[in-house]
Amino acid sequence: MNVLIIEDHADLAANIGEYLEAQGHTIDFAADGLTGLHLISCNRYDTIVLDLSIPGIDGLQLSQRIRRDGAIDTPILMLTARDTLEDKLSGFAAGADDYVTKPFALAELHMRLQSLARRGPGVGSNRLRVGDLTLDLRTLQARRGTRSLSLTPTGLRILECLMRDSPAVIRRETVEQLIWGDDRPESDAALRSHIHQLRQAVDQAGENKLLKTVHGIGYRLVQDDPG
């Protein structure tokens, strides 16, 4: 992946860049909106990591200019400390394809960028689907058919992770890193509890079971699988 990181916090940008480079990706940096806009106009990127609070042109304005004036459809992942629903909706309305709030795990950021890159330019509807299970990334509303799912914030993060990589198996360690970062609990009881709550929300009586446990390895979301 060729990734542009637009972030004015030098240490954070360096940490992200070093992690992504260690995964084999090529990184460019911009510390302000105008530099970012120049790099985007001169180069091709697979994904853009865009902080909202940058000097020159802020992230929302830059995203709007990229989409409206530049007609560039490179996937944008917004990075910010603003975590209200209104902030997220504003980001998506400005042209973002995904949204990560600080603090975050680098492994989660990498996973989201890989998912955006696989979906490619013009990712479109911002809606994930597995069978009749959908997750709207703009409103953060999950539905199973006509039924609305009531999820905890942790359950929502796990569900999004599983849906993005469906039908692949997500290892238990990856889910733990997503939830707790480097402060993972010694026991796996907490993760089992989160998965149990998510399964109760996703799979109810009479419905095809989508959330599968791959014993000793991890979890997956898949339609019409007998396993």
Give the tens place of pLDDT for each residue, 63-103.
988 877 655 778 999 998 877 777 777 888 788 888 888 88
pLDDT of residue 17 exceeding 90, the answer is: yes
pLDDT of residue 114 exceeding 50, the answer is: yes
- What pLDDT shows up at residue 96? 86
How far is C-alpha 128 from the geometric centre of its chain's CA atoms? Answer: 11
- What pLDDT shows up at residue 70? 54
Q: What share of the chain is helix, strand, coil (3-state, %, to 5)?
A: 40, 20, 40
Nearest by Cα to 212 from 110, 131, 97: 131
Contacts of 100 (CB under 8 A, 6+ apart): 77, 78, 79, 80, 108, 109, 112
CATH numbers and ranges of domains, the chain: 2-119 (3.40.50.2300), 127-221 (1.10.10.10)
Please give the Cα distance from 173 to 194 (Å, whole number). Answer: 14
How far is C-alpha 153 from the geometric centre of its chain's CA atoms? Answer: 14
Q: Could you tell me the pTM of the whole model?
A: 0.56
Tally of residues, the chain:
227
Residues of the chain with pLDDT > 70, as a percent, come to 93
Of 40-44, 50-54, 193-197, 198-202, the poorest mean pLDDT is in: 40-44
